[in-house]
């Protein structure tokens, strides 16, 4: 699984960092991926599904 964040779309609401703090962190005005999950990570997927502006993309 590869997780990316489109910084141009991100509004830094913090939902992803709350849902999966081991994967996401808010830096400035956007979220950033601090560590790629190993294998399928349910919390990272939940963060992507819950992103209000669809800035998080996951490739399997």
pLDDT digits (tens, 9 = 90+) for 11-42: 999 999 999 999 999 999 999 999 999 999 99
* pLDDT for position 17: 98
Number of domains in the chain: 1
The CATH number given to whatever domain includes residue 16 is 3.30.70.20
CA dist 52 and 60 (Å) reads 21
Range of the domain at 11: 2-59
- Please give the model's pTM, rounded to 2 decimal places: 0.92
* pLDDT for position 27: 96
Of the pLDDT bands very low, low, confident and very high (cuts 50, 70, 90), residue 58 is very high
CA dist 28 and 49 (Å) reads 22
27, containing H or E segment: strand 24-27
Alpha helix positions (H), 1-60: 15-19, 42-50
């Amino acid at each position: 699984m590869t997780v990316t964040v489109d910084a141009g779309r991100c509004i830094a609401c913090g939902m992803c960092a709350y849902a999966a703090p081991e994967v996401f962190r808010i830096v400035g005005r956007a979220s950033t991926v601090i560590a790629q999950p190993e294998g399928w990570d349910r919390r990272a997927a939940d963060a992507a599904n819950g992103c209000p502006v669809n800035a998080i993309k996951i490739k399997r």
